[in-house]
Amino acid sequence: MDIVMLGHSAAGKTTYVSLMYAAMRDGIQGFSLRTDDVLVHGALTSAAEAVLRGRYPNMSSRRQVFDFILQYQGRDVLPFRWRDYRGGALTERQADSEQAGQLQQDLVAAQGIVVFVDAHRLLTDGGSDRHMRRMTVLVQRALEARGDQLTPLVIAFTKSDLLDLDRSGLLERLVEPFDGLIEGVARTQHLRGALALVACGPEPVNVAVPVLWSLHHGIVGRGLALHTSIEESLASARRAAANDTPWDRISSWWKEEDSWAEIRARHERAAQAEYQLLEPLFEPAERLEGLLQDVLWF
């Protein structure tokens, strides 16, 4: 699964990755993350420990890609790739910036999108709405180019610890620049959107929500694809069985080619193998659905 994270400079993306990894590495309700890259593990762990002590990392100056594996109760469930773009890639012209062009390509191909928004800046900087709307245009174009593939989308409002969360109409003000995107996603069956108020600091808040929302739908999408493949294999087995006759078995033996009986058995074995991949996804998918039931979705 490929997940693209994007947002303007200083939105907290770099800090988020380290805190998210640290939280998921320690485990949440049986779910955890691991990486086979010891250098990535060490760098993210050190960065998270620094943030928890109040020292924040420098803003990312380049595109970064992290390979992780979601585990449930110690068993590998879903490998995924997390792509992080520097904020400048959002404002640069594709014709002039390799990263801007790569961002658009990755958005179209992504199986999950996480949009990071500096909530404090959005509420206090009168010009930030324009930047937010530019970001939504990029996301909308990418989603429209994808067809009907199941795709999770998360809008994560960072620095929520700087806000008065009891303020009337706060959430409505935050989501206003994204109304068109939210309405478009809500009208579809294959796009699943969520909102998260996140704090990436010494006292992290909701850092697991964006990644778990994305991975839940990644698991569901994987399950749907396997189910479709199983049904196709079984249908092929049934068609082969309808052509299976004693004469076909004899003639196929004589011609040294597969009989319809052998073809049927091959499709049945394929269906069984695919079911063995599908069955382990049921429990983590149901568990994640329960964990995410209080998330604001659209």
Domain limit, last residue, from 207, 237, 261: 207
Q: Check pLDDT > 80 for residue 58.
A: no
Q: Check pLDDT > 70 for residue 181.
A: yes
On whether residue 217 sits in a domain, the answer given is no
Q: Rounded mean pLDDT of 272-277?
A: 97
Residue 85 neighbours by CB distance under 10 Å: 22
pLDDT of residue 102: 82
Q: What is the CATH number of the domain that holds 52?
A: 3.40.50.300
On whether residue 147 sits in a domain, the answer given is yes
DSSP string, 102-128: HHHHHHHH-SEEEEEEEHHHHHH-TTH
Q: Are residues 109 and 183 in the same domain?
A: yes
Domain limit, last residue, from 207, 232, 253: 207
Q: Are residues 254 and 190 in the same domain?
A: no
Containing domain of residue 274, as a range?
Answer: 222-293
38: part of which helix (H) or strand (E)?
helix 38-52
Q: Are residues 198 and 229 in the same domain?
A: no
Kindly report whether the global pTM for this prediction surpasses the value 0.85.
Answer: yes
Q: How far apart are CA 126 and CA 104, in angstroms?
A: 27
Query: Is residue 172 helix, strand or coil?
Result: helix
pLDDT of residue 86: 66
Domain limit, last residue, from 207, 236, 253: 207
On whether residue 298 sits in a domain, the answer given is no
- In Å, what is the CA distance from 251 to each residue of 240, 256, 259? 15, 8, 8
Q: Are residues 117 and 34 in the same domain?
A: yes
28-32, 106-110, 246-250, 276-280: least confidently modelled range: 106-110
Q: How far apart are CA 115 and CA 5, in angstroms?
A: 6
Burial class of residue 116 in the structure, from the number of CB atoms within 10 Å of its CB (0-12 exposed, 13-18 middle, 19+ buried) = buried
How many folded domains does the chain comprise? 2
Tens digit of each residue's pLDDT (9 = 90 or more) over 77-96? 999 999 987 655 565 555 55
Tens digit of each residue's pLDDT (9 = 90 or more) over 216-260? 999 999 999 999 999 999 999 999 999 999 999 999 999 999 999
**Range from 147-156, 160-169, 266-275 that averages highest in pLDDT:** 266-275
Q: Check pLDDT > 70 for residue 12.
A: yes
CA–chain centroid gap for 292, Å, is 14
34: part of which helix (H) or strand (E)?
strand 31-34
81: part of which helix (H) or strand (E)?
strand 75-84
On whether residue 214 sits in a domain, the answer given is no
On whether residue 215 sits in a domain, the answer given is no
Q: Are residues 146 and 199 in the same domain?
A: yes
Q: Are residues 269 and 236 in the same domain?
A: yes
Residues 6+ apart with CB under 8 A from 130: none
Asked whether the beta carbons of 69 and 35 are under 8 A apart, the reply is yes
Q: Are residues 142 and 26 in the same domain?
A: yes
On whether residue 107 sits in a domain, the answer given is yes
On whether residue 213 sits in a domain, the answer given is no
Query: With bands split at pLDDT 50, 70 and 90, how would you rate the model's confidence at 60?
Result: low
Tens digit of each residue's pLDDT (9 = 90 or more) over 204-213? 999 999 999 9
Residues 6+ apart with CB under 8 A from 297: 192, 193, 194, 195
Q: Are residues 203 and 275 in the same domain?
A: no
pLDDT of residue 92: 57
